């Protein structure tokens, strides 16, 4: 009888240890699965954040014998596109900037970029007042050193969408020697094209 009791106690102890180990294994498996799910969610979140932002940097080349250079970036987040212009080599003062219909800067005077981007056949004008082209951005102000840092935002553009009246990819960016007067047709009497870049 005493041997039987000892045998039963040994069996109970073995079962208890085995159950405890199984529970610990299950808990470890659950923890690992939670960690994998969390990592997967983090990756998905990062992917969503990245896919919601599109950016194109446009190097600007000197044209018409100028020394103007720099980079103009276009960044889309949600429905808004932001243009960030950083330029040097301009004469101090006011200079027009427009999007043109052709992404072509091959001509020495940048005339290969064509006219203003105007998919709705509007008259040229001031972006903030009444009728205007989709490329009628406006004017930049160069400081005494000929430098410009300028930001422009709009929800009327998109980067790579299917709406040809909004999609800026494939368009030319032109900086002019003079200011846009917002009234002269078809281009605002802004003078020579001193810098050109292609949005691609």
46-50, 57-61, 152-156, 186-190: least confidently modelled range: 46-50
Longest dimension (CA), the chain: 115
Nearest to 137 by CA among 160, 112, 161, 154: 154
Residue 129, pLDDT score:
79
For range 89-100, the mean pLDDT: 97
Q: Which CATH number fits domain 53-198: 3.30.420.40, 2.70.98.10, 1.10.10.10, 2.60.40.200?
A: 2.60.40.200
Domain-by-domain residue ranges, the chain?
Answer: 1-51, 53-198
Neighbouring C-beta atoms of residue 51, cutoff 10 Å: 8
Residues 6+ apart with CB under 8 A from 86: 70, 71, 72, 148, 149
Least confident window among 4-13, 168-177, 180-189: 4-13
DSSP H or E run through 137: strand 136-142
Q: Which of 88, 96, 93 is nearest to 69 (CA)?
A: 88
- 20-73 per-position pLDDT tens digit: 444 445 544 554 544 445 444 444 444 434 568 999 999 999 999 999 999 999
Confirm if 108 and 160 have CB atoms less than 8 A apart.
no
**94: pLDDT confidence band, cut at 50, 70 and 90?**
very high
User: Radius of gyration (Cα) for the chain, nearest Å?
Assistant: 32
What DSSP element (H or E) covers 20?
A: helix 2-51
**CA–CA distance, 163 with 167 (Å, rounded to integer):** 6
Q: Mean pLDDT score of the chain, rounded to an integer?
A: 83
pLDDT computed for residue 51 by the predictor: 62
């Amino acid at each position: 009888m005493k041997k039987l009791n000892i045998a039963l106690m040994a069996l109970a102890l073995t079962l208890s240890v085995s159950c405890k180990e199984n529970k610990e294994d299950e808990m470890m498996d659950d923890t690992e699965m939670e960690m994998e799910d969390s990592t997967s969610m983090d990756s998905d979140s990062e992917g969503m954040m990245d896919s919601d932002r599109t950016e194109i940097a446009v190097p600007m080349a000197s044209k018409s014998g100028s020394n103007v250079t720099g980079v103009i970036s276009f960044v889309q987040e949600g429905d808004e596109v932001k243009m960030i212009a950083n330029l040097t080599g301009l004469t101090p003062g006011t200079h027009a900037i427009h999007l043109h219909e052709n992404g072509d800067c091959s001509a020495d005077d940048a005339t290969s970029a064509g006219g203003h981007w105007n998919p709705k056949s509007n008259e040229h004008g001031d972006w903030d007042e009444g009728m205007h082209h989709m490329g009628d951005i406006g004017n930049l102000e160069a400081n005494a050193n000929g430098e410009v840092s300028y930001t422009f935002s709009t929800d009327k553009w998109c980067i790579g969408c299917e709406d040809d009246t909004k999609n800026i990819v494939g368009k030319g960016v032109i900086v002019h020697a003079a200011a846009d007067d917002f009234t002269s047709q078809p281009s605002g009497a802004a003078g020579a094209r001193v810098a050109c870049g292609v949005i691609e």
